[in-house]
Amino acid sequence: MISVRSSCWPVFVSSFLGVAVLALSSATVFSNTWYVATNGLDTNTGSSNSPFATISHAQTAAASGDTVYLRGGTYFLNNSNITATNSPRAIVNNITKNGISYLAYPDELPVFNFTSVQPTNLRVTAFHVTARSCVFYGFDVVGVQVTIPTNHTQSECFWVDGGNNNRFEKLRMHDGMANGWYLTKGASNLVLNCDAFNNKGLDSGSIGNTDGFGCHPSAGGRSNLIYGCRAWFNSDDGYDCINAFETVRFDHCWSFYNGYWTNFSSTGGDGNGFKAGGYGVSGSPVPSPVPRHLVQFGLAVQNKANGFYSNHHMNGSDWFCNTGFSNSVNFNMLCNTNNTSTSGDVPGFAHVMKNNLGYRARSSEVSNLGPATTNNTTFNYFTLPVTVNAADFASLDLSMLTAPRQADGSLPYVNFARLANGSDCINAGTNIGFEFYGAAPDLGAFEFGPTNGPTLAIANTGTNLILTASGWANRTNYLLSSTNLLLPVSQWTRMGTNKSDLAGNAVFTNAVAADVANNYYLIGLP
């Protein structure tokens, strides 16, 4: 996986070969499709012309393998939509059935508005997920309330509480008082290309608990991944994994303006971009061994406190290819030895930091980092003979950070914080296993290199289709295929992966199915 523009170029291919072949398996698996719409009724049948009104009722009707399509429009929910009370929480959508996909209908945007869900003295959870192998795709969750004042409390748009192998994709959680996405128990969950913004607690009791993304797995909650997400204007932190008993991975994510109201006055929350680790300083339980967290290809911009923060962690973590800009401290590597008080705080130890880049910190570029004898910090902007200034960047226009996402949901391709031609940060990094363009990796979250699409050549050889992509030297390319051009790219089938040679050529040979009239192909960068 590489840190350049993620794009695909479609190729239409007709694949009639004159021979029809039909393969039948010994067992046939049937699945159903259900519909939810703003004008639906839960007494309806759930068909496209007789949709349900609520996700909860659709779950009652559906079974593993089924798809629930959510039609566009705004769904206004209230206390009558609460389906479960699990003190101290009131739960609206209690997702307990495995293997169901809840998908926005193609080219439509469903918006679930929870502003009027206000139970007395209960936390509000919009989606409580204990099921496994479910998909949540393409909709907004807005206005989730906090209804317990003056206490240490919070609410959640999504709370994963034991669910495994679920995918949360192209979701937007915003303009409420709740955490965007929050996990306390569960393994192998993927949060992909989601945004959490303008989420602020009600008062001092909840402002400091309202993060964009919180991943706090209990023991056994391994392999949770947050990828391609953005978090901004959340009252506490953008990304937080305090008290995590297993490794958490934040990958290719952006975090900016956290800890601020939209007028940039302080919320009173912590305001970190990426808070990776820690167990508090009041004697909370600590796992053995203490996990190492992974933050890579992250962008942290103008957060109130730290861009990248180790948060009194009792171990080092891995920090690769990150860019910090205009945070109070761009990289704060503070560790702790006993988790009982700040008296145990020590300069960060056992960290591995490679290819990181920072600029224009308001207080300090790097703080609380122990000596080189206790950390591996070669090949960073603060250990290399490079000079970082505004001329190193193609743009520092902050308005680019909230640009619309690409059609497939991936982060927008913008020039903000990308290196400018001639920067001494280009080729200044070290090879740590990620692909790169040029003589060596660059510093920071974005690799300097070509951004144009490849030149494509298509040929048929017998029953094989030969696709050649030219123009991306030393890059991994992937080939996707689908018979339905309307399907989201995430649901296309990956047919192959290939690495282009130094001349920039990658060749895919793909057998054309004789029984498929038309296929669509995508070639792109992972």
Confidence of residue 462 (pLDDT cuts 50, 70, 90): confident
Beta strands in 243-314 (DSSP E): 248-251, 254-256, 274-275, 294-296, 299-301, 306-309
Task: Give the pLDDT score at 513.
Answer: 61
**Strands 123-129 and 84-86, how do they pair?**
unpaired
Spatial distance between the Cα atoms of 147 and 121, rounded to a whole number of angstroms: 6
Question: Do 247 and 271 meet the contact criterion of CB atoms below 8 Å apart?
Answer: no
Q: Backbone phi, then psi, for 345, in 5-degree steps?
A: -65, 135
Residue 464 is predicted with a pLDDT of: 80
Do 403 and 413 meet the contact criterion of CB atoms below 8 Å apart?
no
Contact of 488 with 476, CB cutoff 8 Å: no
Q: Partners of 72 in the beta sheet?
A: none
Per-residue pLDDT for 505 more than 90? Answer: no
Please tell me whether residue 200 adopts helix, strand or coil conformation.
coil
Give the pLDDT band of residue 44 (cuts 50, 70, 90). Answer: very high
Q: Identify the CA nearest to 33 among candidates 62, 72, 54, 53.
A: 62
List, for residues 440-451, the tens digit of each pLDDT value: 999 999 998 765
Q: What is the chain's mean pLDDT, rounded?
A: 89
Strand order of the β-sheet with 135-137 is 33-36, 67-70, 101-104, 135-137, 167-169, 190-192, 224-227, 248-251, 294-296, 318-320, 352-354
Q: What structural domains and CATH numbers belong to the chain?
A: 1-30+453-526 (2.60.40), 38-402 (2.160.20.10)
262: pLDDT confidence band, cut at 50, 70 and 90?
A: very high
CA 359, 361, 364, 369 torsion-angle sign? negative
CA distance 359 to 326: 7
Mean pLDDT confidence for 208-212: 97
Q: pLDDT tens, 333-382?
A: 999 999 899 999 999 999 999 999 999 999 999 999 999 999 999 999 99
Are 473 and 501 a contacting pair, CB within 8 Å? yes
Closest to 331 (Cα-Cα) out of 297, 348, 307? 307
Among 23-32, 259-268, 334-343, the range scoring the smallest mean pLDDT is: 23-32
State the pTM of this model.
Answer: 0.84
Give every CB contact of residue 108 below 8 A, 6+ residues apart in sequence.
70, 71, 72, 73
Secondary structure class of 277 (helix, strand, coil) = coil
Mean pLDDT of 42-57: 98
The closest alpha carbon to 381, from 329, 463, 321, 297, belongs to: 321
Reading the block at residue 253, the tokens are: 């994510």
Q: pLDDT band at residue 26, thresholds of 50, 70 and 90?
A: very low
Q: How confident is the model at residue 469 (pLDDT cuts 50, 70, 90)?
A: confident
